[in-house]
Chains A and B, each alone.
Chain A
Amino acid sequence: MKPSTLARTTEIISAFFILLFVYTATSKLLSHQTFVINLKKSPLIAFASGFLSWAIPSIEIIIAVLLFFPRFRRLGLLASFGLMTVFTIYIAYMLLTSSHLPCSCGGVISKLSWKEHLWLNVLLSVLAAFSLCLQQRFKFLLQ
């Protein structure tokens, strides 16, 4: 793959993650009360619902900012991969241990079933990992 193609692909994937994180963060902030209520109903994290209701959208916005600047893109992709992995593990845990659960996601993602949400998160984790590999390859080729 040519370096320009690698760079372009990484840029497009980063733009997609920027869109995803800004969208979900803004949706959560716009429906903050609903988000807090759903967090309170969620297993494991209910005790920290107040803190998480601000921390999660903030982290998503910070990652979006990191992805926006090419200089910090690699760090942003690492953080995206980390966040997606945490969400994936949490959803898998919820599917294994609980039956009826609220969705404290944002926007249209809340319309997915839990299984669909899990698959989406797995896909996004793989995409972030793939983009990291491309970024690494691009740096290697430049050297």
Chain B
Amino acid sequence: MKKYLLGFFSIVIAISLSAYNAPKQKAAKNTSTLNYWEYNPNTQQLGDSLGEFDPVADRNDLIAVSCPDNGTIQCARGYSSPSEPQTQQEIDNFQDKVAHN
């Protein structure tokens, strides 16, 4: 058994070293999140960017942090970057308009 000890330790060290030096995998981007903006239907204007949320998993966060509850403001959402949309047409082209209840 002693004659295998050195070889065994070499294997353990080699595997540990290669695992340590292995390239780190980037965390997969969560593709189910959407960008949210305030949207005033009276003025048909977009307000502040509310950030990125998962409409299902982050529902409570959305309610707590983002879409204000006053009946005149809705939340617009889409798949583009927070710098969009800029016009009503772009807003109309959005996948969905979410009314906060």
Contact = CB atoms under 8 A, between A and B. Distances in A.
A22 B3 contact: no
Interface stretch (B18-26, B31-39, B88-96): B18-26
Interface string B36-62: 000000000000000000000000000
Q: Which of B11, B13, B19 has the most CB of A within 10 A?
A: B11
Interface string A90-132: 0000000000000000111000000000000000000000000
Q: Is the interface of B mostly helix, strand, loop or mixed?
A: helix
Contacts of B15: 22-23, 26
Contacts of A22: 10-11, 14-15, 18
Interface stretch (A47-55, A63-71, A81-89, A133-141): A63-71
Q: Is the interface of A mostly helix, strand, loop or mixed?
A: helix
Q: Which of A14, A20, A22, A69 has the most CB of B within 10 A?
A: A22
A79 interface: no
Contacts of A19: 10-11, 13-14
Given A19-B13, A23-B14, A23-B17, A30 B22 contact: yes
A14 B7 contact: yes
A26 B21 CA distance: 10
A38 interface: no
B10 A26 contact: no
Given A22-B15, A23-B14, A70-B3, A15 B9 contact: yes
A44 interface: no
A68 B3 CA distance: 9
A31 B21 CA distance: 10
A39 interface: no
A27 to B, nearest CB: 5
Contact of A26 (B3, B6, B18): B18
Interface string A1-16: 0000000000110111
Interface of B: 3-4, 6-11, 13-15, 17-19, 21-23
Given A11-B6, A15-B10, 14 more contacts: A14-B7, A19-B13, A19-B14, A22-B14, A22-B15, A23-B17, A23-B18, A26-B18, A30-B19, A31-B23, A64-B11, A67-B7, A68-B11, A69-B4
